[in-house]
Amino acid sequence: MTDIIIRTSGHAGHITLNRPKALNALTWDMCLAIEAALDDWKDNPKIALVIIDGAGDRAFCSGGDIAEMYATGKRGDYDYGQRFWRDEYRLNAKIYDYPKPIVTFLQGFTMGGGVGVGCHGSHRIVCESSQIAMPECSIGLVPDVGGSLILAKAPGHCGEFLGLTGQRMDAGDAIYAGFADHFVPEGDWDALKGQLIATGHPDIPQPTRPDSQLQAWQHDIDAFFTQGTDSPAAQQAQKLMGRNAPLAMAVCRQILSAVRANPDIKTALDHEFRYTYRCGAQGDFIEGIRAAIIDRDKSPKWQLATTEQIAAMTAPLGNDALQWEETS
């Protein structure tokens, strides 16, 4: 079984993430394959739009496949992760700026690297099972794959709330926060895909948007992040933030501030890469993965978020910065 299925049908290029037992976790090879397909279809007059979906009903994509990053980083080899992120971030920027419609179908879990593939498309579809999140701070990373741009554009301080806590969004929350566009019942997806393939036009029905807890909490979220005011939203934020890496959360806030000042996908990815480039050697990534996935003791030993460490993790990378035309 191949990890990714790429084909054309009618007026559409169609990409299916095909690792359902691994919740369609994104590998490096899958990133490169998606990029190659998008490059091939970009100037193909027969392809009017692109469909990206995931096999199975549990997840569109639960995130990046980080096992090899951990294994190499544990040995003190950080080059693997740095090269993976370079290629992944280049793909994220291409999806965001793609000249043709990209329609993504986000069932089940869409997290981390799945957000980078699924939430930068032009038409992002969610359903009853959708659970979208950026939980990177819980493993010593920062919201990346361009997710900081979506967070920076979210209403009020929802970006801080979602980025620092890793709170999961259902369909209504995802649309409200800007991670999705359309709610379509999953039972209607096959017919919609058939329509897209046959017509090449992304005419997607827009039924009533589901209610959003985030929207109901908006005032309280803003009050918590500006004044420290207590509320159910504040209590939820404090509970989730108490588990996460202090350094990652501090840097996340700094990244959101920088991206709000210049809300551009490459700006977001550049600031994210400053942290992820260093996260193995200087940050909490290895410890975060150990505690969450390897030993599963849920007791990470986080470092403190000192002014000096924040500055060290966010400084420009100079010659090591992202180069957008670079390929592996």
Instruction: Please state, in angstroms and rounded to a whole number, the distance separating the CA atoms of residues 218 and 201.
Output: 35
Question: Is residue 17 a contact partner of residue 60, using CB atoms and an 8 Å limit?
Answer: yes
Q: Residue 79: what residue type?
A: D
Supply the pLDDT for residue 168. 98
Supply the pLDDT for residue 207. 67
If you average pLDDT over every residue of the chain, what do you get? 95
Contacts of 22 (CB under 8 A, 6+ apart): 62, 65
Phi, psi values for residue 186, rounded to 5°: -60, -30
What DSSP assignment string belongs to 153-222?
HSSTTHHHHHHHH---B-HHHHHHHTS--EE--GGGHHHHHHHHHHH--------PPPP-HHHHHHHHHH
Strands 4-9 and 12-17: antiparallel
Chain centroid, CA 236 distance in Å: 22
| Residue-wise pLDDT tens digits, 138-173 | 999 999 999 999 999 999 999 999 999 999 999 999
- For residue 8, what are its two tokens? 């054309």
| Residue-wise pLDDT tens digits, 19-72 | 999 999 999 999 999 999 999 999 999 999 999 999 999 999 999 888 888 899
Supply the pLDDT for residue 328. 47
Q: Which domains does the chain have, with CATH numbers?
A: 1-328 (3.90.226.10)
